Structure 1
Amino acid sequence: MKLHQLQALVAIAESGSIRAAARRLGLSQAALTKAVRELEAEQHLPLLVRHASGVSFTEYGSALLGHARLVVGQLQRADAELARLRGQAEGRLSIGVTPFIELTFLPEVVRRFREKMPEVRLELFEGLTAVALPRLRNGELDFVVGPMIPAMPAPEFECEDLLLFNSVVIARQGHALGGSRSLHELLDADWVVNYAPSAYDAFMRNLFWQHGAAIDERRLVRAHSLTLLLSLIRHADMLSYCPEPLIVAEPLRDWVQVLRLAEGFETGRLGVISRRDTTRSTAAQCFVDCLLQEIRRRSRSARAEDRQLCDLLQLLV
């Protein structure tokens, strides 16, 4: 396999067509098509399906695309690092951020990072686990600031620990089940949750199974954005399960309540999650340093809002 062939695959996936991919790479359509066909011939496998509306990837093409993205992404990061050493523009940094970091520490972290590296194009994704991990795996994200889940493959990912937190069951204030004292009183309610498919067993075990609570899976709605999740809690009377620090964030603090249940849940661990096969760029390290500085600053603050937040966290940095 040659680099230009892998670059062609990535460009086609991101552009949606051979014409757009060729334009993006500054090549003719014929040259791009030739690169893909040579790759297919070398591997003795069809990688693309060509149709009137564009192209799609075969099973083999999708499998190779994941590796291609990692290779191309790592080379782009190497180019950016060398460009920085030459005093040129740094490039792009793509990060997934879990909601309670997004709603608490993130604004000041971004402001500080932009002051230090204004030339970097920063791209942020809402880092709910089910959304962020696939993007980290295929190379779309440089790293994720989020919870480390038991089902996360250790050979594939590594986590730099930042803090520990407890998780709680929540509902809108005034919910009919707001006075419940046991998880078993909540099994006939509808829930909105988020988990990665690979983490289903760990999620269910922590929330329900370890307490002998058997819930009909049809009661669980998976929401892949914080906006959807909050909307269903607030307007559809659904229950949810989230990191406790999230409840003191501005969008939730005035209308969410914690259900004080007899059952306890495992302590969550949050950190900077990266693929083991990557090297952290200068820009990525700068962002992590800004995050560490802001967490430490808030932990020492005397402001009531900061104390309320940090009292729900156990810092590991």
Structure 2
Amino acid sequence: MKLSHLRDVIAVAEHGSLRAAGRRIGVAQPAITRSIREVEQELGATLFERHARGVRLTEIGTAFVRRASAVHAELRRAREEVDQLKGRAVGEVSVSLSTASSLSLMPSAVQAFRKRCPDALLKISESFFRPIETDILAGAIDFYVGPIEIDQVSQQFTVEKLFENRRLILARKDHPLSNARKLSDLVDAEWVRPVLSGNNTDVDVDFLFKEQGYDPPRVALHARSAMVMLLVTMNSDLLTILPEQWLDFPLLSNLVAPLPLDEPLAGTPICIVRRRDMPLTPLAEIFCDLMRRAALNYVHRREAGRGQ
């Protein structure tokens, strides 16, 4: 089996049709068809089944593509690492960041990376850790930066804590509860629950009340979109809870405000998570280090702001 076979199978799986896959990788459709047939003959199994709009993976095809994608990604990294070790700052870096990390750390890290490695391609996706855990193991994503419960992470990963975090309860400006000092003042309030990605206790209002001994509050709206959540909070009396980095976005800080609670609300620490068994490429290591520096600068700014 040739590496071009893996390339063709992965392309068809990603695009759902032979024609679209051929256009994407610059290979004629008949050659793609022949490549798929050769792989299926070698494996003695069918990888794709046809449907009205193209093709879809069979169960065996899904398992094969999962492994093939990991092999293909590692080969790309191997080639790029050789180039980078030869002094050429070219290739790809793929990272996944939580929204909080994107707001507080990404801008300065990206700016510095672009100056240092202008010919590199940086791919950034937004997610919490659980949905992209398998992508990191498969090599599709180099590393993750965001909230994570360190003791719940598999030994397949290394976890590096950047800083402790805290959460804020946010309300629109001039909210009737804008002077609330205790969580007990909020037991009758109504809430927007962020459901941004998977199960994440860092933004779970039920968990917040439970850990302080109160009954769960009334949740009036579940928001799977950050935009929906913010628009509702800005234009109603509903409250929400988010990591404090959300207020680093100037437009948001002008429209909502944190409630001045006497006791800070601890949040899940912000960490870097990466595969344990495979080092980052030199280029990915550069961006990872820039994220560390951005985190250190963020902590200094935060502590300076709290001291004022």
* Pairwise TM-score range, normalised by the shorter structure: 0.7 to 0.9
Summarize deviations over 1:248-287 as a string: whole Å, max 9, x none: 4423322222235578754421122223343201111111
Query: 1:191 corresponds to which residue?
Result: 192
Whether 2:218 is the aligned partner of 1:221: answer no
Match for 1:308: what amino acid?
Answer: G
Query: 1:255 corresponds to which residue?
Result: 255
Runs of 5+ consecutive residues of structure 2 not aligned to the other structure? none
User: Relative to structure 1, is the Cα distance of residues 248 and 293 closer, same or farther in structure 2, using a 3 angstrom cutoff?
Assistant: closer
Q: TM-score, normalised by structure 1?
A: 0.77
- Local SS of the residue matching 1:122: strand
CA distance in 1, matches of 2:13, 2:44: 20
Query: 1:308 corresponds to which residue?
Result: 305
Compute the displacement of 1:120 (Å): 0.1
Q: Is the 2:99–2:126 contact (alpha carbons within 8 Å) kept by the matching residues of 1? A: yes
User: Relative to structure 1, is the Cα distance of residues 208 and 261 closer, same or farther in structure 2, using a 3 angstrom cutoff?
Assistant: same
Whether 2:281 is the aligned partner of 1:281: answer yes
Q: Is the 1:129–1:196 contact (alpha carbons within 8 Å) kept by the matching residues of 2? A: no
- Which residues in structure 2 correspond to 1:102-121 (within 5 Å)? 102-121=102-121
CA distance in 1, matches of 2:232, 2:100: 18
Whether 2:97 is the aligned partner of 1:97: answer yes
Query: 1:270 corresponds to which residue?
Result: 270
Deviates more, 1:112-121 or 1:94-103: 94-103
- Which residues in structure 2 correspond to 1:47-86 (within 5 Å)? 47-86=47-86
Q: Is the 1:206–1:266 contact (alpha carbons within 8 Å) kept by the matching residues of 2? A: no
Deviates more, 1:177-186 or 1:239-248: 177-186
Identity, % of aligned pairs? 28
CA distance in 1, matches of 2:185, 2:47: 50
Deviates more, 1:276-285 or 1:184-193: 184-193
CA distance in 2, matches of 1:233, 1:144: 28
CA distance in 2, matches of 1:186, 1:16: 50
- Local SS of the residue matching 1:268: strand
CA distance in 1, matches of 2:255, 2:101: 19
Compute the displacement of 1:129 (Å): 5.0
Match for 2:155: what amino acid?
Answer: P
Deviates more, 1:159-168 or 1:170-179: 170-179
CA distance in 1, matches of 2:54, 2:96: 30
User: Relative to structure 1, is the Cα distance of residues 139 and 216 closer, same or farther in structure 2, using a 3 angstrom cutoff?
Assistant: farther
- Which residues in structure 2 correspond to 1:166-185 (within 5 Å)? 166-180=166-180, 181-182=182-183, 185=186
- Which residues in structure 2 correspond to 1:145-164 (within 5 Å)? 145-149=145-149, 153-164=153-164
Deviates more, 1:85-94 or 1:267-276: 85-94
Compute the displacement of 1:238 (Å): 3.8
Q: Is the 2:191–2:220 contact (alpha carbons within 8 Å) kept by the matching residues of 1? A: yes
CA distance in 1, matches of 2:282, 2:98: 22
- Aligned residue pairs total 307
User: Relative to structure 1, is the Cα distance of residues 76 and 293 closer, same or farther in structure 2, using a 3 angstrom cutoff?
Assistant: same
Match for 1:158: what amino acid?
Answer: T
Match for 2:16: what amino acid?
Answer: G
Deviates more, 1:26-35 or 1:72-81: 26-35
Query: 1:315 corresponds to which residue?
Result: none
CA distance in 2, matches of 1:3, 1:217: 55
Match for 2:7: what amino acid?
Answer: Q
Match for 2:304: what amino acid?
Answer: R
Query: 1:6 corresponds to which residue?
Result: 6
